[in-house]
Amino acid sequence: MVSTAKEVSKDGPTDVSRPRMKLVGAVVAVVAAVLVTFLITRPAATTSSFTPLSGLMTLKTMAAESMPYGDAIASPQPTLIEFYADWCTTCQGMSTTMAALQQQYGASINFVMLDIDDPQWAGQVNDYGASGVPQFTLLDAHHSEVKTWVGKVPKIILANVFDQLIG
């Protein structure tokens, strides 16, 4: 017969291995904390990896580097206007796709980004009927609306329309 060591206290019997269980619990908690810290702070493995933070950073970088709206409208090239918001997770998720398209088509198409939360763009939001984000409005060289998409749009669909437009 196997017996386990028990101590008797005024509250009743207790298992002698309880301190060992507390130690195991503490070790598990420390390992979990280290793992969570690693996962949160590690750099993205590739430029196409998406995390909410990397998506927001890409979105902000693209917005800062996009062609100013006035310059795009004065240009004889077609223009893609992206209506976005920093809080929009779909906008963040589309940011790597849009960066790749801008790299591929940037010499032929103006890429403009307008933050719908910025009051200076209220007129454009109204004029182009931006009803959701992201909204992508493609204008031809004469600044007539060719096509509008709202939400997540596959890269191949955008690329096909771009190819037809610049043909």
Q: What is the DSSP string of the chain?
A: -----EEEETTEEEETTHHHHHHHHHHHHHHHHHHHHHHHHSPPSSTT---HHHHHHHHHHHHHHSPPHHHHHHSSS-EEEEEE-TT-HHHHHHHHHHHHHHHHHTTTSEEEEEETTSGGGHHHHHHTT--SSSEEEEE-TT--EEEEEES---HHHHHHHHHHHH-
Residue-wise burial string across 79-116, b where 16 or more C-beta atoms lie within 10 A, e elsewhere:
bbbbbbbeebebbbbbbbbbbebbeebeeebbbbbbbb
Query: pLDDT value at position 44?
Result: 43
Residues 70 and 21 occupy one common structural domain: no
- Model confidence at 133, pLDDT cuts 50, 70, 90, reads very high
Residues 24 and 74 occupy one common structural domain: no
Please say if the pLDDT value at position 85 is more than 70: yes
Active-site residue flag, 88 = yes
Domain that holds residue 34: 6-41
Average confidence (pLDDT) over 60-70: 96
- Model confidence at 20, pLDDT cuts 50, 70, 90, reads confident
Residues 32 and 97 occupy one common structural domain: no
Residues 64 and 18 occupy one common structural domain: no
Residue 47 lies in a domain: no
pTM of the model: 0.70
Residues 36 and 110 occupy one common structural domain: no
Residue 141 lies in a domain: yes
Among residues 63, 81, 91, 109, the one annotated as catalytic is 91
Among residues 72, 88, 112, 139, the one annotated as catalytic is 88
Q: At what angle do helices 155-166 and 89-105 cross, to 10 degrees?
A: 40
Residues 69 and 37 occupy one common structural domain: no
Residues 37 and 93 occupy one common structural domain: no
Active-site residue flag, 42 = no
Residue 92 lies in a domain: yes
Query: pLDDT value at position 165?
Result: 96
